[in-house]
């Protein structure tokens, strides 16, 4: 009798276990049915080859953004991230391998090339546009023209009153981009130091170093004593542009910054704008760089007030 009871107990336990197991399987099937299924209509994730990072020059940031937006409209599967921070920031990012393309409004320095090569990066240079650095003042300032030597004397502190330049008896407020800016470096080398590598002239210590082109523009509009400089693409009608002469020759010829005077070499504060890649570009970076040189992309250069590289 006890043996029969034991057999019955085993049979009951086995039956109960099988039922529990069956319920567990059914629950798993129900959860699987309720879980999200792949939607064939959803846009697939972008391949890593269709993404690139672009960092650097604040002078170029609006141009780089316009390029990126236009390219992404043509190629919706691509993603291009653009940030400013200055030419030095872009080149440092290239050296540190944290960006695919560095924008710079100045040429990369020898020490930066050395640092890049020491980190296994070979910077490759591309001239993607041209620019003029415009000297700007408040519209109420009666001064219309300056030589490079006068600009050097202003920014080095030798001239500190507008009356010394034929203006009103007012102190000169000097505005400049920050030292990490390629525009700052170019202005230092070509204006304050008049292109001489031996010259060690520095900005006057009371020069206001401002973080962006927009801030310089705002200060110029509001301060009748201020003088500043900026890329031609950032000049607006509510600023006064000073005509500039290199002061060479028997008669100084004062030139207004424009695409024409940049191309014919007469405006004395002109420069190239650069993009740098880590080695010869490949993949999506190469595809994008090739597009930058297309007529479609170079039209955007003109639209934003810069000078295209393929203009006559």
271-304 tens-digit pLDDT: 999 999 999 999 999 999 999 999 999 999 999 9
Alpha helix locations (H) across the chain? 2-34, 58-74, 87-95, 110-118, 148-156, 182-187, 213-222, 259-263, 283-292, 295-303
Q: Using 50, 70 and 90 to split pLDDT, how confident is the model at 8? A: very low
Q: Tell the burial category of 268 from Cβ atoms under 10 Å away from its Cβ (0-12, 13-18, 19+).
A: buried
The dihedrals phi and psi of 213, each to the nearest 5 degrees, come to -65, -40
Neighbouring-strand partners of residue 305: none
User: What is d(CA 143, CA 4) in angstroms, rounded to the nearest whole number?
Assistant: 118
Whether the domain at 48-129+273-303 and the domain at 132-270 fall into the same CATH topology = yes
pLDDT over 70 for what percent of the chain?
83
Kindly report the average pLDDT of the chain as a whole number. 87
15-44 tens-digit pLDDT: 344 444 444 334 444 444 444 444 444 433
176-221 tens-digit pLDDT: 999 999 999 999 999 999 999 999 999 999 999 999 999 999 999 9
Q: Please compute the mean of the pLDDT values over residues 79-101 and round it to a whole number.
A: 97
Listed by start position, the domains of the chain span 48-129+273-303, 132-270
Q: Tell me the whole-structure pTM to 2 decimals.
A: 0.79
Pick the CATH number of 48-129+273-303 from 3.30.1050.10, 3.40.309.10, 3.40.190.10, 3.30.750.24: 3.40.190.10
3-state class of 29 per DSSP? helix
Helices (H) and strands (E) in the chain, counts: 10, 10
- Confidence at residue 20, expressed as pLDDT on a 0 to 100 scale: 45
CATH superfamily for 132-270 is Periplasmic binding protein-like II (3.40.190.10)
- Confidence at residue 252, expressed as pLDDT on a 0 to 100 scale: 76
């Amino acid at each position: 009798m006890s043996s029969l009871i034991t057999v019955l107990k085993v049979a009951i336990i086995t039956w109960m276990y099988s039922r529990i197991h069956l319920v567990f399987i059914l629950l798993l099937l129900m959860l699987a049915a309720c879980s999200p299924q792949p939607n064939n209509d959803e846009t697939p994730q972008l391949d890593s080859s269709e993404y690139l990072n672009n960092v650097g020059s604040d002078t170029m940031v609006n141009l780089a953004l316009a390029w990126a937006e236009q390219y992404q409209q043509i190629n919706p599967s691509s993603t291009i991230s653009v940030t400013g921070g200055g030419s030095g920031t872009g080149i440092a990012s290239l050296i540190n391998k944290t960006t695919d393309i560095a924008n710079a409004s100045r040429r990369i320095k020898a020490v930066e090339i050395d640092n890049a090569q020491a980190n296994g990066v070979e910077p490759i240079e591309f001239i993607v546009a041209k620019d003029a650095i415009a000297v700007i003042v408040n519209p109420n300032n009666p001064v219309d023209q300056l030589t490079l030597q006068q600009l050097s004397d202003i920014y080095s502190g030798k001239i500190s009153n507008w009356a010394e330049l034929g203006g009103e008896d007012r102190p000169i407020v000097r505005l400049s981009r920050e030292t990490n800016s390629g525009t700052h470096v170019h202005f230092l080398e070509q204006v304050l130091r008049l292109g001489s590598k031996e010259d060690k002239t520095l900005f006057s210590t009371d020069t206001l170093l401002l973080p962006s082109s927009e801030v310089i523009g705002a200060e110029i509009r509001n301060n009748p004593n201020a003088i500043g400089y900026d890329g031609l693409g950032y000049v607006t009608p509510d600023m006064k542009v000073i005509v500039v002469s290199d002061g060479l020759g028997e008669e100084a010829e004062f030139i207004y910054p424009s695409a024409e005077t940049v191309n014919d070499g007469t405006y004395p504060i002109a420069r190239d704008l650069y993009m740098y890649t880590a080695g010869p570009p490949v993949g999506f970076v190469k595809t994008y760089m090739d597009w930058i040189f297309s007529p479609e992309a170079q039209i955007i250069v003109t639209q934003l007030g810069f000078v295209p590289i393929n203009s006559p």
